[in-house]
Structure 1
Amino acid sequence: MLCHPVLDLRLLGLRLRTHVAALEACAVRLCELRGLRGARARPPPYTGVWLGERKICAIGVRCGRHITSHGLALNCSTDLTWFEHIVPCGLVGTGVTSLSEALERLVTVDEVMPSFLVAFKETFKCTLVSEDSPS
């Protein structure tokens, strides 16, 4: 699952590192809502969200003129064998996991989206407008 919020950090009164921490908190909250209590952010250089020594969510933010792009990538039912051919995020000795692997069942993006929206609204203290609601 990818989330690339486009936000004006000035309007939100956020610094870039605070925004990254908020994305991490959002992913941790999502994991909690899905029943994974051990998910946590680690101090730099270990950005993202981790279950033990394995990363479940990568964070990568671009910011230009205080406007963010890119965001987070949470592994739901990702084929983890691809990560055997690279050093994920350049961190030697760490691994990668997914919600499906951690929960020992298939977890789809569609299943996760409602929990993600709850976690995003809680973390960023906002209201999300549904695509099918009147403008």
Structure 2
Amino acid sequence: MVVNHSVSFVVLGRIAYHRALKLQKLLKRCLLDRLYSAQTGHSQVSDMLLICEHEPVFTVGVRNTDYPATEEQRLKALGADFHRTNRGGLITFHGPGQLIAYPIINLTHYNKSVRWYISQLEKTVINTSKEFGVAANIQSSDRGVWVKDNKLAAIGIQCSRYVTMHGLSLNCNTELSWFDHIVPCGVKNKGVTSLSLELKQNITVQEVLPVFLEAFAKQFSCLLVESKETDLPRNFSS
């Protein structure tokens, strides 16, 4: 594999959605500025890949008119958080048992096409699933990665000045009943699935992570370099 660029990755563990969003925004701003502020203690920022799981949360993208305040309260009453975001797409659920990947990368290092970028994310999930014996695919009409008519991974991104944020969620051993309360990504008459459900055995995020990282590195022709949460900007806090 020809390596064209290096990407730092940080495994955050289980983290509240608002904290991960705050970190994404901070890292994106730093990447756009090409320079950390004096508060961070660093001279520059590299492309980053954040890996985490979330506490139960429903998130909606920029097309969120179907989810007024009454719907927000209904979903919160289930015991999950609720966030309106600047990513593409409609509503989805994030929670324990999902591998969440947020690449904050400069597409000028790879390919400036957002369509290309989304395709690379989809292929990363497809190749990860293949390693576990799950035949996943894409559908021409609906974004994401599917096993037949059941969504295995959701993809929703935001990109400005060629710098990305948000990303993908891959269901490993997610509690899928959370999705019963919404129309995931606005796609009716289709279901959701997980690696565990497809394989009829428990497949954890920890098992999937090294396979996913290898697939990501190959798909983006990059060298992944692990960093620690302590290496992140100091003004990132709960």
Q: For this structure pair, what is the TM-score category when the shorter chain's length is used for normalisation? A: over 0.9
Q: Residue 116 in 1 paired to residue 199 in 2?
A: no
Instruction: Select which of 85, 94, 111 maps to 2:190.
Output: 94
The letter for the 1-side match of 2:110 is L
Instruction: Figure out how many residues of one structure are paired with residues of the other and give that number.
Output: 130
Q: Residue 33 in 1 paired to residue 100 in 2?
A: no
The letter for the 1-side match of 2:215 is A
| Cα distance in 2, alignment partners of residues 101 and 24 from structure 1 | 20
| Cα distance in 2, alignment partners of residues 5 and 74 from structure 1 | 14
TM-score (norm 2): 0.53
Q: Residue 65 in 1 paired to residue 161 in 2?
A: yes
**Partner secondary structure for residue 103 of structure 2:** coil
TM-score (norm 1): 0.92
Instruction: Select which of 116, 121, 129 maps to 1:23.
Output: 121
Q: Please say if residues 122 and 138 of structure 2, whose CA atoms lie closer than 8 Å, have aligned partners that are also in contact.
A: yes
Instruction: Select which of 78, 85, 90 maps to 2:174.
Output: 78
| Cα distance in 1, alignment partners of residues 166 and 226 from structure 2 | 21
Q: How far apart are 1:12 and its partner, in Å?
A: 1.6
Instruction: Select which of 118, 126, 129 maps to 2:222.
Output: 126
Q: How far apart are 1:26 and its partner, in Å?
A: 0.3
| Cα distance in 2, alignment partners of residues 15 and 8 from structure 1 | 11
The structure with more strand, counted as a fraction of residues:
2
Segments of 4+ in structure 1 off by > 6 A? none
| Cα distance in 2, alignment partners of residues 120 and 14 from structure 1 | 18
The structure with more helix, counted as a fraction of residues:
1
| Cα distance in 1, alignment partners of residues 126 and 112 from structure 2 | 19
| Cα distance in 1, alignment partners of residues 132 and 213 from structure 2 | 13
User: RMSD over aligned Cα, in angstroms?
Assistant: 1.1
| Cα distance in 2, alignment partners of residues 98 and 7 from structure 1 | 27
Identity level (%): 41
The letter for the 1-side match of 2:195 is L
Q: How far apart are 1:107 and its partner, in Å?
A: 0.8
Aligned residue number for residue 51 of structure 2: none
Structure 2 residue ranges without an equivalent (≥5): 1-98, 229-238
**Partner secondary structure for residue 57 of structure 1:** strand
Q: How far apart are 1:11 and its partner, in Å?
A: 2.4
